[in-house]
Amino acid sequence: MQTFVRPNVGAGAKTLDASCYISAEIFAAEQERIFGRDWLCVGREESLALTGDFFTVQRAGESLIVTRDAGGTVRAFFNVCRHRGTRICERDSGHFQGSIQCPYHGWTYGLDGALKVARNMVEVPGFDRTEYPLKEAAVALWEGFVFVALAPRARFDEAFAPLMGRFARWNVGGLTTARSVTYDVACNWKLIFLNYSECYHCPLVHPQLDKLSPSDSGRNDLSEGPFLGGYSEMRQAGTSLTMSGHSSRPPLGTVAGEELHRVYYYTIFPSFMLSTHPDYVMVHYVEPLAPNRTRVICSFLFDPQTMAEPGFDPSDVVEFWDVTNRQDWHVNELTQLGLSSRAYSPGPYSNAEGLLSAFDRHYRRVMEA
């Protein structure tokens, strides 16, 4: 049973040193110690509906081809030919017609990664094409999301044990992405996570959000480790986080009772944030690009049956959160600017920022491991 508590912070808890947000050396270390070892969410399984469907992603300095093989298995291949290291695929997404071919010398691989054709290599002494499959990253599927790990520090089921079954009532795995918005934010990736985990700023930065959901209504049930969050309540029953404050869409899955008046927000270290609403789910995929630059893709998931109804339009949700996101990105960018000042020194967290202190603790543990 989930136990929810008010946000809180320990005595003396302060923000991280500025170097954690502006240092190129620390950013490089994060790529190795965090993004090179943790499970990273890279998208939805719905993007790989057919055998041969693929998309490419850049993580921890590596390019990966994520595709579905003939047996239905989702795989993530390093985008590197085993011949002379050429990057094989340049497209963001597409469909392979049964094989993956390097454009340089035509070495051709099956959708399972096995080398099928190596031109002019038959007569090379000692050459055995079975020794040259595409190299793979680890893959895991959860609630319709695709995760990859370059060198996983733990099995996925062990790492994600606190989240297993937690979102069953929303049927997240059966939802479909209706719309996505991509943002290029001029701030460190950690500021995106920290901002998401507190509503101390909401009355000042998000008046339209605070009007519908009070900033002091939060309760957390995950308050230590890589997964943090809990819920906020709606001010009035039957309202929704949309431009109008209302929604005619039916609840997702088996959502009922008090959950019809709650929105759950969770940060899933280090690659995305998940927000479950009574009638939709919002996801923020986070990709660090530089110490002071982050790409965020905000996607909105709905029940496919609801999406098939005449007149379905997610604009009321997308527009509400586009306004909210841009408000957040603006203050995050202001924070990034301030962190670069010689005047900055770590400041104290408030009791409304308990999850931020927890995020920092987990970040330190991982970076020191």
Question: Per residue in 137-167, pLDDT tens?
Answer: 999 999 999 999 999 999 999 999 999 999 9
221 and 349 assigned to the same domain: yes
Sign of the alpha-carbon dihedral angle for 96, 102, 104, 105? negative
Which segments in the chain show pLDDT lower than 70? 1-11
80 and 206 assigned to the same domain: no
Does residue 250 lie within any of the structural domains? yes
Q: What is the CATH number of the domain that holds 94?
A: 2.102.10.10
* Structural tokens at position 22: 């502006």
48 touches 54 (CB < 8 A): yes
133 and 229 assigned to the same domain: no
- Burial of residue 11 (CB within 10 Å: 0-12, 13-18, 19+) is exposed
Measured CA distances, 247 to 100, 214, 232, 363 (Å): 45, 19, 18, 38
Within 8 A by CB and 6+ apart from 191, the residues are 21, 332, 335, 336
Does residue 160 lie within any of the structural domains? no
173 and 102 assigned to the same domain: no
Could you say which of 152, 183, 207 is where a domain stops? 152
pLDDT value of residue 369: 85
Tell me the residue range of the domain where 145 lies. Answer: 39-152
What domain count does the chain have? 2
Could you say which of 127, 152, 177 is where a domain stops? 152
* Structural tokens at position 172: 């997240």
Does residue 231 lie within any of the structural domains? yes
130 touches 116 (CB < 8 A): no
pLDDT value of residue 113: 98
pLDDT value of residue 12: 78
- Burial of residue 192 (CB within 10 Å: 0-12, 13-18, 19+) is buried
Q: What is the pTM of this model?
A: 0.95
Residue 109 exposure: Cα atoms within 13 Å on the Cβ side: 27
pLDDT value of residue 6: 58
Nearest Cα neighbor of 366 from 9, 14, 20 is 20
Sign of the alpha-carbon dihedral angle for 30, 224, 296, 41? positive
pLDDT value of residue 286: 98
Does residue 246 lie within any of the structural domains? yes
Nearest Cα neighbor of 355 from 182, 196, 248, 207 is 196
Does residue 159 lie within any of the structural domains? no
Nearest Cα neighbor of 193 from 24, 28, 356, 41 is 356
220 and 333 assigned to the same domain: yes
pLDDT value of residue 345: 97
Nearest Cα neighbor of 48 from 111, 113, 6 is 111
81 and 228 assigned to the same domain: no
Neighbours of 254 (CB within 10 A): 10
- Please state, in angstroms and rounded to a whole number, the distance separating the CA atoms of residues 101 and 21: 40
Does residue 50 lie within any of the structural domains? yes
